[in-house]
Amino acid sequence: MGKWQWPSLRFPKLHFRVCDQVLFAALLFEAVLNFIPASVLAQEGSGKSPPANTSFDGTYVIHLSESARVRSSARPEPGYFDTLAIELFVKAGIKVEIMPQMPWKRQLELAERETGHVIYPTTRIDYREDLFQWVGPVSRTFWNLYGFTDSGWADMDFKTLLRDARIGVLLGSARESYLRERGAKQLIMVPREELLLPMMMAGRVDLIAIGGNILRHYVDEAREEDPGIPDISGAAPYRICYLYIAISGAVPEGDVKKLQAQLDTFKRDGFFVENRGTHGLSTNLDSSFLKAMLNLDNNGISCVDVDRVGP
C-alpha cells in the first residue's frame, strides 16, 4: 500500500450517536460551567483504575484531533497529528476505525471504560501512566500562562498567579490537573480549548493555560474580525512536556512495540519531518524542537518542571 493510500475506515453508528450527545452536552457545559464548583467538575484523580480489557476485537479506534470547522480555518497542527497517527497504524499493519472529533473530557471518559481508544497528542503524566499504553513522543510543548501584555500579571511570581488569578484551562486536561496540584485557587474550566481566548477577551478569566502555537493561531483568527485585540504574552513558563499517542487499556504488547518501532522508522527515514512540511509546520532540522523529536533517546520522557516556586 502506497503512502497516503489509507484503507476504507468504518465509522460505527454507535460512535456517531455518542458524538451527537457530546456536542449537545458541550453546549450545556458552556452555559453552566462557571456556576459549578471546581471540585465537582474535576473528575481526574490519581485513584482511577485502568479500563477493563473487555470486548476488544483487535480494532483500534482513532479519535481525530481535527474537526471540519478547524480544518476550514487552516490550523496546521491537528491535520498533522491525524495524518501521523493514521499512517502509523496503516504502516504497522494494525486495523483501525476512525471516530470524529469530540470534547477532550469525553474522549478520556470513553478511554477509561473501553480498550483500544487512540487519543493524541496526550501528555504522559503520572496518574495517566497505567491508564494508557504510550507511543511517542510525537511533539513537545512549553507550558505557560498567557495574559494581555498590559495586565500586569507578568510582573508577579508564579505562586501569586496561582493564588490570585482566574485561570482558564481545558476541562480534563493535564494542565488542569497540574495547576490544581500546584495550588491554583481559581481555575475556570472550558469544554473546548477555542473558548479560552474569548473568555479572556470578555474579562471572565485573567490568564489562560494553553499551548503557544495554538494560541497564536486563535489570536490571528480573532484579529481578522477585531484588529484591536491587545497583545498577549507569557506570564509564567512553568513546565516542559513531551506529547504522545495514548492507547487505552491492556492492548497487546506486540501492537504497541510495532507502533513504536514504526514511529522510530518515520523519524529515521524522513517521513516525520516530511509530514510536518506537508501541513505547514517547520522542518528546520537545526531547531531545538526537531532535534528533541528525532533523538530516540527521548522516548519515554514525560514532563520536566522549569519552575518550582510554590507547593
Query: What is the model's pLDDT at position 310?
Result: 42
The answer to whether the beta carbons of residues 110 and 74 sit under 8 Å apart is: no
13-139+243-284 and 142-240 have identical folds? yes
Mean pLDDT of the chain: 80
Where along the chain do its domains lie? 13-139+243-284, 142-240
Q: Is the pLDDT assigned to residue 257 strictly greater than 90?
A: yes
Which pLDDT score, from 0 to 100, does residue 174 have? 85
What is the pLDDT, as a whole number, of residue 259?
98
Q: Say whether pLDDT at 249 is over 90.
A: yes
Give the tens place of pLDDT for each residue, 161-219: 999 999 999 998 889 999 999 999 999 999 999 999 999 999 999 999 998 878 988 99
pLDDT number for residue 15: 41
Average pLDDT over residues 269-280: 94
Of 5-19, 122-136, 141-155, 187-201, the least confident: 5-19
Average pLDDT over residues 7-36: 38
Q: Give the CATH class of 142-240.
A: alpha beta
Q: What is the pLDDT of residues 111-139, one digit of tens each?
A: 888 999 999 988 888 888 888 999 999 99
111 touches 132 (CB < 8 A): yes
CATH superfamily of the domain spanning 13-139+243-284 = Periplasmic binding protein-like II (3.40.190.10)
Cα torsion 276, 176, 126, 114: sign: negative
Closest by CA to 37, choosing from 187, 181, 164, is 187
183: left (phi over 0), alpha (psi -120 to 50) or beta: left
**Percentage of residues in the chain having pLDDT higher than 90:** 49
pLDDT at 88 over 50: yes
Q: What is the model's pTM?
A: 0.66
pLDDT band at 44 (very low <50, low <70, confident <90, very high): very low
Q: Residue 66 — very low, low, confident or very high, per pLDDT cuts 50/70/90?
A: low
- Nearest-Å Rg of the Cα atoms of the chain is 19
